[in-house]
Amino acid sequence: MNIYVSNLSFNVTDDDLEGFFAEYGEVSSARVITDKFTGKSRGFGFVEMPNDEAARKAIAELDGGRVEGREIKVAEARPREERGGGNEKRSFSRNNSYNNRY
């Protein structure tokens, strides 16, 4: 199961995130998402756990918990929505009254 964790302190590392969930079972991966330009944490991350039962228990017990003074939110991750790839052509029309004056 893929788990979404938000409202993380900017000091939380991948290892810290893994440690929070390891108490509940095997953790396949744990990653704090970082800004691609600065490399600093964006305050959320994802944890993958192969055992759904252990993952559900971790979600139930960790959601609303406090880490470094912040109340974290923990939920099953939703599938990522498809976004436009930027290759789409966009139409743009100028204001005809402006163009007609000059």
CATH number at residue 15: 3.30.70.330
Say what the pLDDT of residue 47 is. 98
Residue 46: closest CA among 28, 65, 61, 23: 28
User: Which pLDDT value is given to residue 80?
Assistant: 75
pLDDT score of 52: 97
**What pLDDT is attached to residue 79?**
82
Domain membership of residue 55 as a residue range: 2-76
Nearest to 72 by CA among 36, 35, 41, 39: 41
Reduced 3-state DSSP string for 13-28: CHHHHHHHHHCCCCCC
Average pLDDT in the chain: 87
The verdict on residue 102 lying in a domain is no
pLDDT band, residue 93 (cuts 50/70/90): low
Quick check: is 50 in a domain? Answer: yes
Is position 62 within any domain? yes
Is residue 7 over pLDDT 60? yes
pTM of the model: 0.76
- Provide the number of structural domains found in the chain: 1
Residue 88: is its pLDDT beyond 80? no
The rounded distance, in Å, linking the Cα atoms of 26 and 34 is 24
On whether residue 38 sits in a domain, the answer given is yes
Domain annotation covers residue 10? yes
Reported in sequence order, the residue ranges of 1-102 that DSSP labels E, i.e. its strands, are 2-6, 29-34, 41-48, 66-67, 70-71, 73-76
